[in-house]
Structure 1
C-alpha cells in the first residue's frame, strides 16, 4: 500500500507542478494565442507564443516513425507468431527487444551522421537537420514495442480459431491476416498507441538530428523543432527562472501531457471495446 500511495502522490505532484506553472504562464499569455498563433519565438525580442509549429514538428516526426514501425512491426509479429519455428521465435524476439535497450542518444547520432548523409545522396535538397531521418530512426526505436507486444497478442489467440479457419479451407496467409489479426486487434492497437506515445515523448533523437527551428510545416526535408526539443533548449540554464520564457516549458509540457493522456484513453477504450466484442 505504501508503494502504491507513493506512486499516486508522485503522479499528483507532477501534475500539480505542471498545472501551477502553466496557470502562471497563461496569466501573461492568452490561451487563444497559444493555441492558434503560427509562430513560436518566446526567446526573441518579438515574442510570439503559438504552439502550432512545435506541435506540427512533433506530429510530423511521430507520423514518419509510425509509418515505419507499424507495417514492419506487425509483419514481424505475424511471422513470429504464425510462421516461424519456436526456436526462431525464441531467438529473434529477444534480439528485437535489444533495440529498446539502445540509448536514444546513440540513435540520434546515428540519424545525424549516417541516415541523413545517406538520404542526401538521393534527396539533394534534404537539409542537414530535418524531420525525415529522426522520424525513420524513431520508427526503428519503437519497432520492438509494436512487434513484441503485437506478437504476444497474436500468440494468445486461441488455437481453436486457427483450426476452425483451416477446416473451412483457408490458407495460412488468410488465417493469419483475416482471422488471427482481427481477433488480436485490441492488443495490437494498444501496442501501436503505446509506440506512438513513446515517439511523441522522444527527446534525444529529435534534439540531435531534427534541428531547433520551429516552423509550421509538414515538409520532412527541412529543419523543425519538436516540443521535447524546445524543453531541452530552455532547460540548459540560459533562461531566468520565474520568467515567462521559463514558464513556456511547463505550458509545452502540459500540452505533451494532454496529448499523451488522450492517446492512453483511446488505447484503453479500444482495448475495452474489442475485448468485449471478441468474448
Structure 2
C-alpha cells in the first residue's frame, strides 16, 4: 500500500514538473525566421530578452547564420520586427568579435540613421559606436556624413559627435564635422546633452573647450548647470579659462540659486588659478 502511494506521489510530481517546464527559447535564427514567416503576435519583452541575452555567448557561426534573417527583419513592415532586429544588432556589436561579424553589414546599419523611428535610428548610432574601435575605417565615414547632413541638431547627432570625439579627435574631417555641429543652432535639451557628453568623454579640442566655456553665458539654467560640470571635467587648461565666469555665476545675486550653488561647488572642487 505504501509502495502504491509512493509511486502515485512520484507520478504526480513528475506530471507537475513536466507541466511547469518551459520549452527552451529559440535560437536567434529560428526566432527571426518565425517572426518573418508567421503571423504570431510580437513577443513580450521578457521573451525577446530570452533570445537577445544569449547573443553574448553564442557561437559566431550561429550569429553569422542569423544575420541574413536579421537583415530581412530590418526591411520588414511588420509591427516592431525592425526594432527587434536593431536590438539584436546592437547586442552583437557588443561582442569582442562584433566588428568582424558585422563589418559587411555596417553600410546597412548606417542606412538605419535615416529611419523616422527613433528606436531604430538611435539604436543604429549606438551600434556604430560599439563597432568603431574595431571597424572605424567603415563606421567613421558614415558618422561624419550623418553629422554633416542637413536638419536640426538631435540627440542622435550628439551621440555621433561624442563617438567621433572619443575615437577620432585627431581626424581632420571628423574634427571639422564636430565644429560645424557645435556652431549650429541647438535647442536647449540638445545643448545640455552635448555638454554632458563633453563632461563624460573628457577629450579636449579647441572647438569643444570653447563650446563648454561659452555655454556658461547662456541664459538657460539647465545649460549653465551642464556647462559648469563640463568645464570642471575638461581639465586644468579649460578650468583656468572658465574660472572667472564660474566665479561670477557663484556670486551674482540675480543668478538662479541652483546655478550659484553648482558654481560654488565647482570652485571649491577645482584648483584656484
TM-score range, shorter chain: under 0.3
- Normalising by the residue count of structure 2, what TM-score does the alignment of the two structures yield? 0.22
Q: Which has the larger radius of gyration?
A: 2
**Which structure is higher in helix share?**
2
